[in-house]
Structure 1
């Protein structure tokens, strides 16, 4: 399966302090979501969006938007700059 890319990247906190992780595709977003401790309503929507994108039901850019919202909800979002 080829990667389903989106742009711009969504930056989130990595497991190591001081490290940023830039997510730019659906597979990376799904991996990040599964690793988070905080799993609220926006997390649930982001996971479902990833599944839907894998099935060709939603475009990658839509997943990016809900992934960013979930990252903010989980307090792992980092600004791009």
Structure 2
């Protein structure tokens, strides 16, 4: 299976740990394993976007956008490269 890559996003969590996210697979892993427990609607949307992308119903850039919105909702610092 090929990685579904997108232009990377760097997030910094509350413990000041930086993560560089550059594909659907890593976005899904971070959402599943490292996300704050009190998740909101944008978190749910981002998780579903990962599922939809893997099923071929959504492109990687849409996952990136959903991931960024979920991070902002969770008060996770996001550093986006300009597109």
Q: Shorter-chain TM-score category?
A: 0.7 to 0.9
* Runs of 4+ more than 4 Å apart: none
RMSD: 1.8
- Structure 2 gaps, min length 5: none
Query: So what's the TM-score if we normalise by structure 2?
Result: 0.83
Whole-angstrom distance in 2 between the partners of 1:61 and 1:28: 13
Give, in whole Å, the separation in 2 of the partners of 1:48 and 1:77. 22
Conserved? CA contact 2:10–2:79, under 8 Å:
yes
C-alpha separation in 1, matches of 2:65 and 2:42:
11
Normalised by the length of structure 1, the TM-score is 0.85
Shift of 1:15: 7.6
CA distance in 2, matches of 1:58, 1:78: 22
Separation in 2, partners of 1:2, 1:62:
17
After superposition, give the CA deviation of every residue in 1:44-80 in whole Å (9 maximum; x if it has no partner): 0000000000000000001100100001111113324
User: What is the count of residue pairs matched by the alignment?
Assistant: 79
